[in-house]
Amino acid sequence: MRIEVDDLTAPEIAKLLTEHLADMAEATPDPRSRHALDLDGLRAPGITVWSVWDGDKLVGCGALKRLDDTHAEVKSMRTVAHRRRSGVASTVLTHIIEQARSMGYTRLSLETGSGPFYEPARKLYERFGFTYCEPFADYRPDPNSVFMTRTL
């Protein structure tokens, strides 16, 4: 697999992120509890998106959002359906953590859902040393969200 910075112009990444938003809408019916970014949101300054490729096939993506000089947020983790549980998410999360360190961040945080749909994601983050925390940045307490963080 190869990981590259993505400029979000290819139809493959647009399709993957559209599927991501559709799944988030189904798994989290309350729109106030959905914090996934669309393509325009991911193009904002301070956000880097990486795509993961296996040959010429897009298999996943992930992003890093700058919160301040020392703190960043993991965003838009997604693996194509037929490659889930094959190591794609671990590969991209490892890359995001390494990149965050190289950018000088000392803390990574994330928001994910609290429901059963999000359990595999929560278990992945726990394996990578993320622990549960209070809301960070502009987030507020929400029964549909959990917040996690780790030091680098």
- Residue-wise pLDDT tens digits, 95-125: 999 999 999 999 999 999 998 989 999 999 9
Does residue 33 have a pLDDT over 90?
no
> Which residue has 């307490």 as its token pair?
141
> Which token pair is 47?
């956000």
Please tell me the least confidently modeled range out of 8-12, 74-78, 85-89, 99-103: 85-89
pTM of the model: 0.91
Instruction: Please state the φ and ψ torsions of residue 70, each to the nearest 5 degrees.
Output: -120, -5
Give me the domains of the chain, ranges plus CATH numbers.
2-151 (3.40.630.30)
